[in-house]
Structure 1
Amino acid sequence: MVQLGAVRKVYGKRGNEIAALDNVSTGFDRGTFTAVMGPSGSGKSTLLHCAAGLDHTTSGSVHLEGQDLGTLREKQLTLLRRERIGFVFQSYNLLPALTVTQNVELPLELAGRRPDRGRVSEILERVGLGSRERHRPAELSVGQQQRVAIARALVTDPAVVFADEPTGALDTRSSRDVLGLLREAVQTAGQTIVMVTHDPVAASYANRVLFLADGRIAGEIHAPTAEAVAERMTHLSAWAEESLAAPTAGGEQ
């Protein structure tokens, strides 16, 4: 579904450059749920933004369903993101003046597609908001607002959904509900989910956990448990701290 080949992303000017991603090659298969984890500054969000076409790579390639994003003009890229990619962010990005239904319909309106009210109602039922269609964001809990954001991401039937810390501001129960919805999208609709998270419990909902450190891939776990993820993160964080203290002694794990 999504393939990254030798991707580098460098910020800053010559002489003061920082490689947020350094020769990253990986892929995300159709109908899978991948969590991306790593210490602070490891390149997690940059990986997400480059894979979603929100940020241009410095070098390397990103393919979505075989389409090379680097060959697309900005208008083409915008259309592709609108039709084939869904986004769920920690900040929700809901419009306060619109109802729940109107917020969910917004991607369809922007794409020039007439919303199917039956489909919208079905999505809202799936996320447990069937009785909240006419409410506005201020009338919802933070967990319900995030569920609106998930419904909005799913309503266009995207090929892949990218989620950046979608449970970071939620309590335990709301987090569990949101993660269950994302996993359901994989299991029932065959969608591809790529989620950045810092939480080992959240990562355990995924089929696979991809670890980053210093902008490079530092391993992965399939069929993860929260305990296995937490242990790997402990080692990665310690390694990252040692690398900062002694850059020349660093290495990959």
Structure 2
Amino acid sequence: MDTTTVDTVRLNAVRKVYGKGGTSVMALAGVTLGFQRGSFTAVMGPSGSGKSTFLQCAAGLDRPTSGTVLLDGEDLAGYDETALTKMRRERIGFIFQAFNLLPALTVMQNITLPLKLARRRPNPARVAEVIDRVGLSERTGHRPAELSGGQQQRVAIARALVTGPAVVFADEPTGALDTRTAREVLHLMRESVRTLGQTIVMVTHDPVAASYADRAVFLADGRFVGDMYNPTAEVVAERMTRLGAWAGETQAQPATGGVF
């Protein structure tokens, strides 16, 4: 079966090397992974494992040294920088730890900003549905400073969903939140996958956050070293403690992956 027809995002043998010669650093060493439509995946690994580089390459924010990144079967290598920027605005959503809201704009203005940047007329029904799903219908006229941290992250989630993106990349989305608020945000992300068929790829170091995902994939030393479905916080935490040993055992093996 041709997996590129069912993967929203697919990386094939992606390598990313920074620098040249003796000072070069290989951040990704031939990673092959696929992410199916309507799935919620946590990407985990210790510091220096390549998580951030993985996200940047998968989202079209950085170009791999070799290998291919496919979005809905289209190779991003065929896009120039202008086309990549347009593609990210229209087909990729982003959620960050720091929220990245514009303080002078209201909740409604922050949420609809990606549509304005893409010169797309907002669909009032779609906007209202997204705002209702994140529980902010009574807050649309407020500015970020008038919201709690959890509410600000809900604005960021709505902003990521409003364009109906093919995939949402989340980078430590609960890192700045307290435990209870983090769980509410993770539940909201889980629900967007279940009810909207959204595809979410979340980089996290938190086993509890990973337990909300359908699948956890693990990176170590720039390599894919394994995954698990229906992860629990306890099993993920135990797996994370062994990543160093795994990396040593798998360095001699070519990285493999796909739709698991």
TM range (shorter): over 0.9
Residue of structure 1 equivalent to 2:96: 89
| Among 142, 145, 148, the residue aligned to 2:152 | 145
User: Deviation at 1:173?
Assistant: 1.2
Paired residues, what number?
244
Residue of structure 1 equivalent to 2:45: 38
1:62 and 2:60 equivalent? no
**Over aligned residue pairs, what C-alpha RMSD do you find?**
1.3
Instruction: Using the aligned pairs only, state the percent identity.
Output: 69
| Among 134, 138, 149, the residue aligned to 1:131 | 138
Q: Matched residues in 2 for 1:213 and 1:202: separation?
A: 19
User: Deviation at 1:14?
Assistant: 1.9
Residue of structure 2 equivalent to 1:252: 250
* Unaligned stretches of 5+ residues in structure 1: 244-249
1:239 and 2:237 equivalent? no
After superposing on structure 2, the runs of 4+ consecutive aligned residues of structure 1 that deviate more than 6 Å are none
Structural mapping, 1:67-86, within 5 Å: 67-86=74-93
What amino acid does structure 1 have at the position aligned with 2:86?
Answer: L
Q: Matched residues in 2 for 1:64 and 1:122: separation?
A: 26
Q: Matched residues in 1 for 2:181 and 2:17: separation?
A: 36
Residue of structure 1 equivalent to 2:55: 48
User: Deviation at 1:121?
Assistant: 2.4
Q: Matched residues in 2 for 1:168 and 1:225: separation?
A: 19
Q: Matched residues in 2 for 1:119 and 1:30: separation?
A: 20
Structural mapping, 1:194-233, within 5 Å: 194-233=201-240
What amino acid does structure 2 have at the position aligned with 1:16?
Answer: T
Q: What TM-score do the two structures reach when normalised by structure 2? A: 0.91
Deviations 1:66-106 (A, max 9, x none): 11001111111111111111000111110000000000010
Deviations 1:188-232 (A, max 9, x none): 111110000011010000010000000001110111111110110
* Unaligned stretches of 5+ residues in structure 2: 1-7, 252-260
What amino acid does structure 2 have at the position aligned with 1:2?
Answer: V
| Among 17, 21, 27, the residue aligned to 2:24 | 17
User: Deviation at 1:177?
Assistant: 1.1
Q: Matched residues in 1 for 2:142 and 2:124: separation?
A: 16
Aligned residue for 1:125, secondary structure, equals helix
| Among 87, 97, 113, the residue aligned to 1:106 | 113
| Among 111, 121, 132, the residue aligned to 2:128 | 121
| Among 27, 34, 59, the residue aligned to 1:27 | 34
